[in-house]
Amino acid sequence: MGAGVIKPAGGGGGRRRGRRRGRAGAMSEINVTPFVDVMLVLLIVFMVAAPLLTVGVPVELPKTAAEALPQDPEEPLAVTLTADGGIAIQTTEVAADELIGRLQGIAAERENDKIYLRADGAIPYARVVEVMGALNRGGFSNIGLVTETGGPTFDGGGG
C-alpha cells in the first residue's frame, strides 16, 4: 500500500470555491474583554486613590500607643478658609460673625466633635488660629488640619 495524493475532480489547479485564505473578512462583533480589563484597572486605581485625596493632620496627639482611627458613620464636617478670607462650612459660604452660631447648631445634631479645617496656604497663621478658636467655641474640640501630600521634607529632599 502506498500513500498518494488525491486530486480534486474536474482537473487540477483550478480555482477553489469557498473561503479565501490570507484575507479575513470584517469582524462584526465587538470584543469587550479589553474594555472590561481597562475598567477594572481604573476601578482599582480610584479605590486606592480616593482615601488619599484628603489627608488630615490631627491637632491632638495621642497619649498612648497609636491605634487605627475608627471609622465614623457620619460624613466628616469640613470648614474651609479661602484665599480671599471667605469661610465655608462644607460648601456653604458663612459670614465670620455667624460661624460660631452655625457651628453650635451643627454640633448639637452630631454625635462626635470631629471637624476638619482646610485653609489656603496664603492665609496668615493668625487667621487660621482665630478660626480654630471659633471652631472650639462652636463645640468642636477634635480639629484636624487638612494638607496635601508631596510638600517639602526636613531631610532636604523636595516633594
Strand pairing category for 87-89 and 92-94: antiparallel
79 located within any domain: yes
105 located within any domain: yes
What is the overall mean pLDDT for the chain?
Answer: 75
Confidence of residue 157 (pLDDT cuts 50, 70, 90): low
Q: What angle do CA 87, 92, 94 make, to 5 degrees?
A: 40
Range of the domain at 84: 53-59+75-147
29 located within any domain: no
Q: How many separate domains does the chain show? A: 1
36 located within any domain: no
> What pLDDT sits at residue 64?
43
46 located within any domain: no
CATH number at 138 reads: 3.30.420.270
pLDDT, tens digit, for every residue of 96-107? Answer: 888 899 988 988
